[in-house]
Chains A and B, each alone.
Chain A
């Protein structure tokens, strides 16, 4: 239950309230992880929070986390500069089905900071580009300045991802799409019955995204989503992250939608 020390070696500001950290383990032992997993992250004595890993699973030497300052613990993390040490426990949870969907077209559907947990999957897909059909990223943000990883979006496009970006609102300088991310679904003309989707974002965004995908002909068993609940221990002992018959820290955060759908239909589950 004691966190391992990881030193901040790179800190990059993504948006007004979001930073990406690259961390190196003091032990020298890389943290091997699977795309989609999370760690319990802490700074000093300000409490521990579950944060998805957003780095490349093929390069575990540096642990990468994108963190939005929204509460006491995340604010303390975001205040920490290079040279400071963060506490890490993990990795925990289930992974994106990167290997399972080989041979299929893959849609990555991200809303806001939901792109961070999907970045490892995206990198794994690109590293094995020839193993997949079309790769499409559908990414929605609040406004152009709130988009994560803008330089990488262009790089991913160069390397074989169809990158579709939309924002809720923008000024006249924005030449891209405006509107909710679900509207991008209709734009991508895919062979939907052979398309897998990996989704992460606000729960309401994922619900509408699934509805749009299924409407086009995608199969529920090919849709995966990363869920957020109040994970506190990461090891299935504290009870807080219950989602119906599952524990998100143990049986999630990545779930197959067809298994989850009946439960998400229940309000305040």
Chain B
């Protein structure tokens, strides 16, 4: 499985065919509602060929590229979270007996499709790992969660350009995926040639590659791929100084900046919906009118709602200030103590999709500057 290989653009569909033949449902990027989202992919015709995304705080636009790159964008509003931890899951369904007990309890089938994730970026692979650690790394892993990613096949794509809100270099989560994939592609576009430099990350990856017309990468191909990686790394739209950031935020729970950001924050929860690691869920019991059947549903929740922290005598976090602070300190600080990693991978989605353009790199920097002076 060593070596670096090359797949020409014209042979790219053979890769999708090889995955399909092995029983994978391929999920990858496609254009819908003027955004690049993840959905099932049948052929390369479904991919966002020739599109890129323009991203800034509170700003996302698709724009035509001058070439036909398949992966010439950064990341969209979707993340792989929706396959690891779907937005709504039926946990079980049962009949409510006369005595109040439950019978005929049925849990939905554990077997989800075997997914192949096509186009996962380095930051996203880190996010998949972080979410796995939360859901499966504790003392009560849910078999339903484990089932969804058990046989995952990952075709990573090394980013060809960074988005305006990207800061994976700061978070040390990219831009180059070094592990956690079966195959990793670097898309190279030259004047008369469009091809992918392919790294193999697993036996399964090698097996799939063997089914796809490919060649060995020559020195020029490797150099071209290396140039793509270096260019992306140099283009980060944002940066975040993470030096002792946990301690920094722990010292500053009463910082006036939280009041200031709360005046802008709408507590809409967009940042938590688009975040690839935000994992909070709530459960809801749904009965029929007669109360004879009950279903328990789990769906995404957000720490920006008042109900989220509700206990019997009211909400713990009633103010917008406390809710924004909870979210940001969780991402960058308390996550380390709770789960042993950062909760942020630097993908920039929370910045792009915030309707008022709140930027956590800016918020963290403001707090740091008040202690250390501007950088």
Which residues in A have some Cβ–Cβ distance to B below 8 Å?
1-3, 5, 7, 26, 42-48, 70-71, 80, 83-87, 202, 228-230, 232-240, 242, 244-247, 250, 266-269
> What would be 30 A-B contacts, judged by CB atoms less than 8 Å apart?
A1-B91, A1-B92, A1-B107, A2-B105, A44-B291, A45-B96, A45-B287, A47-B285, A48-B285, A85-B97, A85-B102, A202-B313, A229-B316, A230-B311, A235-B139, A237-B134, A237-B135, A237-B279, A239-B301, A240-B282, A240-B309, A242-B334, A246-B337, A246-B338, A266-B253, A267-B322, A268-B318, A268-B322, A269-B316, A269-B326
Say whether B100 contacts A85, CB under 8 Å. Answer: yes
Contacts of B284 in A (CB 8 A): 47
Q: Does B244 contact A (CB under 8 A)?
A: no
Number of A-B residue pairs at CB separation under 8 A: 129
**A79 to chain B: closest residue by CB:** B100
Find B142's partner among A3, A70, A237, A244 (CB 8 Å cutoff): A237
Say whether A44 contacts B254, CB under 8 Å. Answer: no
Say whether B319 contacts A268, CB under 8 Å. Answer: yes
**B279 to chain A: closest residue by CB:** A239
Q: Does B308 contact A (CB under 8 A)?
A: yes
A5 to B94, CA, bound (A): 12
Say whether B311 contacts A42, CB under 8 Å. Answer: no
Which residues in B have some Cβ–Cβ distance to A below 8 Å?
91-92, 94, 96-97, 99-102, 105, 107, 134-135, 138-140, 142, 144-145, 253-254, 279-287, 291, 294, 296, 301, 303, 308-313, 316-319, 321-322, 326, 330, 333-334, 336-338
A233 to B142, CA, bound (A): 11
From residue A7, how far is it (CB to closest CB) to chain B in Å? 8
A192 to B86, CA, bound (A): 53
From residue A142, how far is it (CB to closest CB) to chain B in Å? 14
Say whether A5 contacts B308, CB under 8 Å. Answer: no
Say whether A235 contacts B285, CB under 8 Å. Answer: no
Say whether B334 contacts A245, CB under 8 Å. Answer: yes
A45 to B371, CA, bound (A): 51
Say whether A233 contacts B286, CB under 8 Å. Answer: no
With A228-B311, A242-B326 given, is the CB distance from A85 to B101 under 8 Å?
yes
A5 to B142, CA, bound (A): 20
Supply 10 further A-B pairs (C-beta < 8 A) apart from A2-B94, A230-B311.
A1-B92, A2-B91, A44-B96, A44-B294, A232-B282, A237-B135, A239-B279, A245-B334, A247-B338, A250-B138
Say whether A269 contacts B291, CB under 8 Å. Answer: no
Say whether B97 contacts A239, CB under 8 Å. Answer: no
Which of A7, A87, A242 has the largest number of chain B CB atoms within 10 A? Answer: A242
The binding surface of chain A is classed by DSSP as: loop
With A230-B309, A238-B280, A238-B281 given, is the CB distance from A45 to B101 under 8 Å?
no
Which of B91, B100, B294 has the largest number of chain A CB atoms within 10 A? Answer: B100
Find A235's partner among B142, B280, B319, B333 (CB 8 Å cutoff): B142
Contacts of A202 in B (CB 8 A): 313
Contacts of B91 in A (CB 8 A): 1-2
Contacts of A2 in B (CB 8 A): 91-92, 94, 102, 105, 107
Say whether B134 contacts A233, CB under 8 Å. Answer: no
**B101 to chain A: closest residue by CB:** A85
Contacts of B309 in A (CB 8 A): 229-230, 240
Which of B105, B280, B321 has the largest number of chain A CB atoms within 10 A? Answer: B280
A246 to B336, CA, bound (A): 10
Contacts of A47 in B (CB 8 A): 283-285
Contacts of B310 in A (CB 8 A): 230
With A5-B102, A83-B99, A238-B301 given, is the CB distance from A233 to B338 under 8 Å?
no
Say whether A84 contacts B285, CB under 8 Å. Answer: no
Contacts of B139 in A (CB 8 A): 235-236, 250
**A240 to chain B: closest residue by CB:** B308
From residue B306, how far is it (CB to closest CB) to chain A in Å? 11
Say whether A46 contacts B285, CB under 8 Å. Answer: yes
Contacts of A80 in B (CB 8 A): 100
Contacts of B294 in A (CB 8 A): 44-45
Say whether B322 contacts A87, CB under 8 Å. Answer: no
Contacts of A228 in B (CB 8 A): 311-312
Say whether A240 contacts B301, CB under 8 Å. Answer: yes
Say whether B283 contacts A232, CB under 8 Å. Answer: yes
From residue A30, how far is it (CB to closest CB) to chain B in Å? 18
Contacts of B330 in A (CB 8 A): 242
From residue B265, how far is it (CB to closest CB) to chain A in Å? 14
With A2-B105, A3-B102, A246-B337 given, is the CB distance from A266 to B96 under 8 Å?
no
A3 to B166, CA, bound (A): 43
A247 to B322, CA, bound (A): 17
A48 to B298, CA, bound (A): 12
Find B282's partner among A1, A46, A235, A238 (CB 8 Å cutoff): A238
With A1-B92, A269-B253 given, is the CB distance from A233 to B100 under 8 Å?
no
**B143 to chain A: closest residue by CB:** A1
Contacts of B101 in A (CB 8 A): 5, 7, 26, 84-85
A246 to B284, CA, bound (A): 24
Contacts of A26 in B (CB 8 A): 101
Contacts of A87 in B (CB 8 A): 102
A80 to B321, CA, bound (A): 41
From residue A154, how far is it (CB to closest CB) to chain B in Å? 29
